[in-house]
Amino acid sequence: MEQHIMNSLKLSTIALIFAFSMLGMTHSPMVFAGEGHDHDEKPPYTQKQPHHDEEENIVVLTEQAILANAIKTERASTGKISQHDTLFGVVAPTIDNTFTIMAPYQGIVEKVFVEIGDRVTKNQPLLKVQNRQTLQSYIIKSPADGEVTERLIAQGQLALDQTLLTIINLEQVWVELSAFPENIEKLKIGQNADIYDLHQHLKTSGKVSYIAPVMTGGHIARAIVVINNRDGHWRPGMHVKADVKTAEITSQLRIKQTAIQNLRGENVVFVKTANHFEARRVKLGEANRDWVSVIEGLNAGEEYVTENSYILKADILKNGASHTH
């Protein structure tokens, strides 16, 4: 009996040892750092990703989106680019249209027919004066249409060799501009000038009619532009700004300044092909406030965005940020 039990225990022990040995064979051997690693194999995230710069510079919009965002386009073409100098000045009456009224014969002023601010017409009676020598009365008439700006005599006073009234015709006025040394060399008589009201932002145009041959102690020369003022808006003493056209070039290819966007530090223009808008790098040349010459990057006849191109730029930057890791 004891011998039977001992044999059974030996058989059980052998079975357990065999089972454990088989279990160990099902596991891979432990690998320590630096052992058994294939150095030629690269992890997936180190593989080079496709290059998408070209795709990232293109925005695709539906016709509805183009209309909704008010994206406007024009075709690049040849055109003129004017150069301007900006000067500041003051409106003044012209010398030829300023009239000083005096009595041709000394005498007593019997009647004054006008007041300051009255508008008068040529040959309209202004004063009635009694000649102190002949005692005959005579009428002084207006020499031109205009406005009474000064009255320096009253009824009953003696009119001697003095100014009695001043009449100014303001249908045409001067703009007296201050020109610094860097401006004066570019100014020429006959140049066109756009005049702007600093208060109500109204605009008119005239020509340079005079450039002073000498400069003041402040190194400023006076230039005069003559403008029409039939509606009376341009009053003497009013401060104005003038843009004087000093030069003009013909550009082989020009676009509007509103088309230029700065994208990642470069000047770009959005070129439209069907409903695709490509941010195209451009090299720029001569420019003014409205137009700029394109030296490289755009061809004549290509359609480019002139208004609201910032929307396209924002879309590219947004998509670029979403691709950044």
Number of neighbours of residue 312 by Cβ within 10 angstroms: 24
The listed CATH number (2.40.420.20, 3.40.630.30, 2.60.120.10, 2.60.300.12) that belongs to domain 53-81+250-322? 2.40.420.20
Give the length of the chain: 325
Number of neighbours of residue 228 by Cβ within 10 angstroms: 12
Residue 102 is encoded by which pair of tokens?
Answer: 């005096």
pLDDT computed for residue 321 by the predictor: 54
Specify whether domain 84-94+171-248 bears CATH 3.20.20.80: no
Q: How confident is the chain (325 residues) per 10-residue block, as mean pLDDT? A: 44 43 40 37 34 70 96 97 95 94 96 97 98 96 96 96 96 96 93 92 94 88 95 94 95 97 96 96 95 97 97 90 48
Query: Model pTM?
Result: 0.64
Whole-number Å distance between alpha carbons of 85 and 91: 18
Looking at residue 238, its amino acid is M
Whole-number Å distance between alpha carbons of 279 and 274: 14
pLDDT computed for residue 216 by the predictor: 85
Please identify which residue in the block is written with the tokens 């490289």.
Answer: 296
Whole-number Å distance between alpha carbons of 38 and 101: 110
Between the alpha carbon of residue 261 and those of residues 79, 219, 281, the distances in Å are 21, 39, 10
List, as one string, the DSSP characters of 82-148: EEEEEEEEEEEE-STTEEEE--SS-EEEEEE---TT-EE-TT-EEEEEEETTT--EEEEE-SSSEEE
The ranges assigned to domains in the chain are 53-81+250-322, 84-94+171-248, 99-168
Q: Could you tell me which CATH number the domain at 99-168 has? A: 2.40.50.100
Question: In the 8-state DSSP scheme, what is residue 76?
Answer: -
